[in-house]
Amino acid sequence: MAKWLVKTEPSECSINDFAKAPDKSIPWDGVRNYQARNFLREMAVGDEVFIYHSSCKRIGIAGIVKVVRGAYPDPTQFDPASAYHDSRSTPAQPRWQAVDMKFVHKLPRLVQLDELKGLPGLEGLPLIRRGNRLSVMPVSEDEWQIILRLT
Binding DNA (rule: CB under 7 A), the pick from 81, 87, 120, 130 is: 130
Print the binding letters for residues 21-50 with DNA: x by CB under 7 A, - otherwise.
-----------xxxx---------------
Binding DNA (rule: CB under 7 A), the pick from 20, 133, 141, 142 is: 133
> Do the strands 26-28 and 48-53 form a parallel or antiparallel pair, or are they unpaired?
unpaired
CA distances from 25 to 15, 111, 119 (A): 13, 24, 33
Binding DNA (rule: CB under 7 A), the pick from 22, 46, 55, 90 is: 55
97 binds DNA (CB under 7 A): no
| Cα angle, residue 101 at apex, residues 99 and 106 outer, rounded to 5° | 145
Q: In the complex, what is the shortest distance from the CB of residue 45 to DNA, in angstroms, rounded to a whole number?
A: 25
